Amino acid sequence: MRVQAPDPTASGVHLFARYAYGPNRLGLCGPDEPATLLEAGTAHDHGDERLLRELAKGFDGAYPYLDLIARANGIGDPLDRRVVEAYWLGSPLSGGVTARELGRSVDDRFRRRMPRDRWRWLAETPAAGARPIHAFHVLDVFPKAGLLRGGPATGVLETIDSCRIRWGTVEALDGDWLEVAAPSMTLVDGKLALGHPAPTRVRAAVDGVGFLEAPALGDVVSIHWSWACDRLTPAGLAALEQSTRHELAIANRSI
């Protein structure tokens, strides 16, 4: 696969672009700028980030969480790499946000946008241990508020599975595509659960341009809306799996 490899020390701004690209290319989240995000996520020279920073603010699902994590941990930049990783994958930084702070943010953003019965369940999640990360937004906020740029979604379980950050082990390479073994979301006795890894086809590049440098069999990659975002380190994989299971347990309280 002919790819332009991002710098492994990519700034938080460019890491954000890699994870935001998947849904943006489908017209689901943020300003309509997939080409800009693809270029940013594959750039060796980080250059002037002002345009990307303004673009990131237009992701009204993600950016307020980034801002909340940064402020709670005394970090001046919501797009600091540590903050971006904490939001997409989970990290101790997300635990720096108190239940009161998260509750206030959720109230300000979502209370007026959903029926009272759904809001009652969502309002209880910060006290139950929810964290301001992408898994929380996908597993708790989205099912109750149906928040996509295009409006309410059908096929909620399938949409949740596509929207959450998944992990998968590369089993085959096919041009711009990867065959990975990835666990999918399922329902067990009426509760959300992660199934056993199953073959899944995800895109890794457009005409050879993607975010992974020379993907190889056995690599574990992160996936967002069927797009391979990044190669996961063991620590990153552990954080993502732990945060996903944590938020799943909280979401299942209201099902």
Which of 46-50, 166-170, 193-197 has the weakest average pLDDT?
Answer: 46-50
227 bridge partner residues: 203, 224
Number of Cβ atoms within 10 Å of the Cβ of 149: 16
Residue 153 has pLDDT above 70, yes or no: no
> Could you give the 3-state DSSP secondary structure of residue 24?
helix
Q: Which of 168, 131, 138 is nearest to 153 (CA)?
A: 138
* Amino acid at residue number 24: N
Which of 22-36, 48-62, 129-143, 150-164 has the weakest average pLDDT?
Answer: 150-164
φ/ψ region of 69 (left if φ > 0, alpha if ψ in -120 to 50, else beta) reads alpha
Q: Which of 92, 234, 44 is nearest to 83 (CA)?
A: 92
Local confidence band at 115 (pLDDT 50, 70, 90 cut-offs) = confident
Residue 150 has pLDDT above 60, yes or no: no
How far is 88 from 70, CA to CA, in rounded Å? 14
What mean pLDDT comes out for the span 238-246?
A: 97
Residue 32 has pLDDT above 90, yes or no: yes
Mean pLDDT score across all residues of the chain: 89
How far is 27 from 49, CA to CA, in rounded Å? 23
* Apex 232 CA angle, 138 and 24, nearest 5: 45
